[in-house]
């Protein structure tokens, strides 16, 4: 479904990704793990079109994403939740959700989609007219994921969804992500919480210094010695 071939991405003159290749199959949940600054977020941003790789290829459902503008990539069914959620704080929960369905494909179905989102995140329904800036950290994260779901994604990419949340919330967020995956949405997850990421995912890639250094099923990586010593302590 998603295929990255040998991509190199730069920030100005600084090369952040070195020949990243990875595959995500339909219906899978795939994790990207690795230390801070390894290039996980950069990889996701390269897929969204917010960053453009200098070399390499990215295809999604047969479309060459490097030729598609960022707003149309969303229309193709690729959605991303950035670290911290980045909800529109001065706008209401409802407005945030509406904007999630901005794309032409999603806009027509937004009345039905919003009901589905409320099923996954009933809390959001209670907060509809509240400004997003007044939500708690967990609620914001739910809103961010709900907002991404409004675009009816085939592939949902999540950047550190558990970051900064209380431990009890972390588990429920992961539960919700699992639920979304079971609804048939393919998931690419970037997580600092390596154990949870590996337990949850079908497969995972390990990134270090902008390069893929390991790949395998979640279980296999969990038992992998170097991963254990580096990330699980």
Interface positions with other proteins (CB under 8 A): 48-50, 69-72, 74-75, 79-80, 82, 86-91, 95, 98-100, 102-103, 106-107, 147-148, 151
If phi > 0 it is left, if psi is from -120 to 50 it is alpha, else beta; for residue 123 that is alpha
Closer CB to other proteins, 21 or 48, in the complex: 48
Exposure string for 111-122, b = 16+ CB within 10 A, e = fewer: eebbeebbebbe
Measured between alpha carbons, how far is residue 219 from residues 26, 117, 200, 213, 222 in Å?
Answer: 20, 31, 9, 17, 5
Distance of closest approach, residue 109 Cβ to other proteins, in angstroms: 14
Closer CB to other proteins, 187 or 227, in the complex: 187
Measured between alpha carbons, how far is residue 223 from residues 14, 91, 217, 226 in Å?
Answer: 34, 45, 10, 9
Please state, in angstroms and rounded to a whole number, the distance separating the CA atoms of residues 34 and 152.
Answer: 29
| Nearest one of 189, 192, 210 to 200, comparing CA atoms | 189
Closer CB to other proteins, 98 or 202, in the complex: 98
Residue 212, both tokens:
């893929």
Distance of closest approach, residue 89 Cβ to other proteins, in angstroms: 7
Closer CB to other proteins, 88 or 163, in the complex: 88
Closer CB to other proteins, 79 or 162, in the complex: 79
Distance of closest approach, residue 19 Cβ to other proteins, in angstroms: 25
Closer CB to other proteins, 100 or 138, in the complex: 100
Please state, in angstroms and rounded to a whole number, the distance separating the CA atoms of residues 73 and 49.
Answer: 7
Distance of closest approach, residue 25 Cβ to other proteins, in angstroms: 23
Distance of closest approach, residue 102 Cβ to other proteins, in angstroms: 5
Distance of closest approach, residue 100 Cβ to other proteins, in angstroms: 6
């Amino acid at each position: 479904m998603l295929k990255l071939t040998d991509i190199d991405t730069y920030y100005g003159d600084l090369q952040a990704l070195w020949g990243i290749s990875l595959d995500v199959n339909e219906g899978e949940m795939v994790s990207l793990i690795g230390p801070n600054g390894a290039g996980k977020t950069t990889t996701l941003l390269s897929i969204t079109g917010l960053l453009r790789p200098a070399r390499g290829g990215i295809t999604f459902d047969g479309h060459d994403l490097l030729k598609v503008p960022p707003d149309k990539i969303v229309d193709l069914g690729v959605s991303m939740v950035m670290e911290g959620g980045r909800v529109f704080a001065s706008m209401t929960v409802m407005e945030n959700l509406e904007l999630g369905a901005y794309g032409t494909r999603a806009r027509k179905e937004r009345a039905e989609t919003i009901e589905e989102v409320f099923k996954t995140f009933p809390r959001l329904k209670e907060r509809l007219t509240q400004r997003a800036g007044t939500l708690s950290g967990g609620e914001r994260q739910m809103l961010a994921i709900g907002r991404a779901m409004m675009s009816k994604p085939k592939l949902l990419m999540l950047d550190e969804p558990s970051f900064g949340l209380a431990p009890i919330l972390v588990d429920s967020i992961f539960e919700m992500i699992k639920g979304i995956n079971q609804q048939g949405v393919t998931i690419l997850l970037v997580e600092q919480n390596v154990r949870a990421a590996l337990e949850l995912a079908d497969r995972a890639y390990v990134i270090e210094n902008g390069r893929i250094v390991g790949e395998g099923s979640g279980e296999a990586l969990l038992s992998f010695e170097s991963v254990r010593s580096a990330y699980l302590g």
